[in-house]
């Protein structure tokens, strides 16, 4: 009897821990998300609010950050875009092909891969993601682009198909990707922002999700909704109306695993506020637009002060600067943030295959 009671006391805490972990596991928006991607998503959920993953954009800036700090970022961003014109010309596909091996190698090291998509205007062979000069190539008819049977819709779907072939490479290789299509979705500088009828932009996001998840079965994608600090079509003088307008771009909770915002201090892309003043304001906005979602500083000029985050917040899921040696993210700041106890670098990430 004594042995039975003791065994029961020994087993109950372990069973309780298992039950709590299972009950608390985050539900992905893709119910067929593969095991490794689920491991990544569950890990992100487990650290959210306690510590912050530090990231970097692209191979060049990542290598700079490693040289400066001696640490490897936990998250590295790549772009699902070949940049060069014409779209799907030889130089475009060459750029696309050249990204595959570096992504596979970083993923092999355990790095969390995130991917944005500077999607070039699908209606134009020489189109860019931007609308206005000097880089812009004009707007896109978003209503037509989300209406089956139109030439614009066919161009959208053909582009998604061909880019999906590259995403398929990473699905086949077992590489989870934090995928953030239509980034800075409400900013107004990219063709996919429909400031007058934001519901068209939200519908395009849902189209991308449905095609890649339901038709292509890309079960390695973790879906990141990505706003900008400026919101096209909103009245900045009316904070309540501005939040309601932002919500019109949102595709719905059932399409979003993580919510993020890109923060740049420039007048064009941001509020022209000091960086530290922008962070809390941006976090508050996204808490209202996408309540209940983990919030990431998905892209920006620098890294928030980890001392301030540790003491008063906000504690982002991850912070991903665009540059590693920049006036808004200088070398000494990179060194401090990458080595700060709040921040998680690659060496602290788990073995995804073992989780």
- Of 219, 223, 333, nearest to 276 (Cα)? 333
Q: Where are the beta strands (DSSP E) in the chain?
A: 52-57, 75-79, 112-116, 177-180, 221-228, 258-263, 294-300, 318-321, 343-344
| Number of helices and strands in the chain (H, E) | 11, 9
Q: pLDDT, tens digit, for every residue of 285-300? A: 999 999 999 999 999 9
Q: Which residues are catalytic?
A: 184, 299
Instruction: Look up the CATH number of domain 31-354.
Output: 3.20.20.80
- Of 349, 195, 178, 156, nearest to 259 (Cα)? 178
Pairwise CA distance, residues 258 & 262, whole Å: 13
Would you list the domain boundaries of the chain?
Answer: 31-354
Torsion of CA 300, 305, 310, 311, to 10 degrees: -130
Q: pLDDT, tens digit, for every residue of 90-146? A: 999 999 999 999 999 999 999 999 999 999 999 998 999 999 999 999 999 999 999
* The predicted structure's pLDDT at residue 207: 99
Pairwise CA distance, residues 182 & 216, whole Å: 19
pTM of this prediction?
0.91
Pairwise CA distance, residues 35 & 353, whole Å: 8
* The predicted structure's pLDDT at residue 269: 62
Torsion of CA 261, 322, 236, 136, to 10 degrees: -110
Pairwise CA distance, residues 229 & 64, whole Å: 27
* The predicted structure's pLDDT at residue 317: 99
The full DSSP string for 258-299 is EEEEEE--STTTS-S--HHHHHHHHHHHHHHHSTTSEEEEEE
For the beta carbon of residue 34, count every other beta carbon within 10 angstroms: 17
Q: How do the pLDDT tens digits run along the chain, 355 residues long?
A: 334 333 333 333 443 333 333 335 799 999 999 999 999 999 999 999 999 999 999 999 999 999 999 999 999 999 999 999 899 999 999 999 999 999 999 999 999 999 999 999 999 989 999 999 999 999 999 999 999 999 999 999 999 999 999 999 999 999 999 999 999 999 999 999 999 999 999 999 999 999 999 999 999 999 999 999 999 999 888 999 999 999 999 999 999 999 999 998 766 666 666 667 789 999 999 999 999 999 999 999 889 999 999 999 999 999 999 999 888 899 999 999 999 999 999 999 999 987 7
Token pair for residue 336? 């401090």
Whether the upstream peptide bond of residue 92 has omega within 30° of 0, thus cis, is: no
């Amino acid at each position: 009897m004594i042995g039975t009671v003791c065994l029961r006391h020994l087993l109950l805490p372990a069973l309780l821990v298992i039950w709590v972990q299972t009950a608390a596991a985050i539900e992905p928006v893709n119910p067929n998300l593969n095991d490794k991607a689920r491991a990544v998503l569950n890990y992100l959920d487990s650290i959210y609010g306690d510590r912050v993953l530090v990231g970097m954009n692209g191979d060049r800036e990542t290598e700079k950050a490693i040289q400066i700090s001696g640490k490897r970022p936990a998250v590295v961003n790549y772009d699902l875009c070949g940049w060069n014109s014409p779209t799907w010309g030889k130089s475009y596909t060459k750029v696309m092909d050249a990204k595959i091996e570096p992504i596979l190698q970083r993923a092999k090291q355990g790095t969390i891969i995130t991917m944005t998509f500077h999607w070039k205007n699908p209606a134009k062979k020489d189109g860019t993601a931007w609308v206005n000069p000097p880089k812009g190539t004009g707007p896109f008819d978003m209503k037509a682009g989300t209406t089956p049977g139109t030439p614009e819709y066919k161009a959208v779907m053909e582009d998604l198909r061909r880019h999906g072939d590259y995403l398929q490479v990473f699905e086949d290789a077992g590489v989870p990707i934090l995928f953030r299509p239509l980034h800075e979705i409400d900013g107004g500088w990219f063709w996919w922002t429909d400031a007058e009828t934001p519901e068209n932009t939200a519908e395009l996001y849902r189209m991308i999700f449905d095609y890649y998840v339901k038709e292509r079965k890309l079960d390695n994608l973790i879906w990141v909704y990505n706003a900008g600090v400026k919101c096209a079509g909103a009245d900045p003088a009316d904070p309540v109306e501005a939040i309601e307008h932002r919500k019109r771009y949102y595709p719905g909770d059932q399409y979003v695993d993580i919510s993020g915002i890109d923060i740049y201090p420039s007048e064009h892309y941001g509020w022209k506020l000091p960086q530290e003043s922008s962070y809390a304001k941006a976090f508050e906005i996204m808490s209202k637009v996408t309540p209940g979602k983990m919030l990431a500083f998905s892209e920006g000029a620098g890294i928030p002060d980890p001392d301030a985050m540790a003491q008063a917040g906000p504690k982002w899921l991850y912070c991903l600067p665009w540059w590693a040696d920049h006036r808004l993210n200088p070398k000494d700041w990179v060194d401090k943030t990458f080595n700060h106890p709040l921040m998680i670098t690659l060496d602290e990430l788990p073995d995804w295959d073992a989780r």
